[in-house]
Amino acid sequence: MAYSEVLADRVRTLLSRKHRVAEREMFGGLAFMVRGHMCCGIQSEELMARVGPNRYVDALKWPGARPMDFTGKPMSGFVYVARGGLKTSSQLRRCVDASLAFALAMPPQSKRGGRSSPRKDRSARPSAK
């Protein structure tokens, strides 16, 4: 897994000031998780920003931004931001803050299995005879 440690450190600094963050290998890079949801990540020298469908079109206007097409087709709500669009602290902060806002708007994931609500207990069902 190859990704920019320099960019990872910059993102860690921004996120850790505000929230508890977990890191996970994902999409062939590094993902930053907030409340169990992917907030943003790094692939090679690019930032993956998860901004959600409502901010997607605006995010594509950021310098260095393009659709995230990891699977071969664009993933709505996700953008890649190239190194040129992350030169300044304010450019990176805009991307990270937009990703963080989307992650925080989602209900927290539970610790078991990534579900936000427990499964129904199916063992109590009467058996069919």
Q: What is the mean pLDDT of residues 102-113?
A: 80
| Burial of 84 per CB tally in 10 Å (0-12, 13-18, 19+) | exposed
Query: What does the CA dihedral 82, 60, 47, 49 come to, rounded to 10 degrees?
Result: 180
Looking at the predicted structure, is the pLDDT value of residue 94 above 70? yes
CA neighbor of 14 nearest in space, from 108, 110, 88, 107: 88
CATH architecture assignment, domain 5-108: 2-Layer Sandwich (3.30)
Structural domain spans, the chain: 5-108
Rounded CA-CA distance 48/66 in Å is 10
CA 112/CA 91 separation, integer angstroms: 35
Q: What is the pLDDT of residues 11-61, one digit of tens each?
A: 999 998 878 899 999 878 999 999 999 999 999 999 999 999 999 999 999
pTM for this predicted structure: 0.80
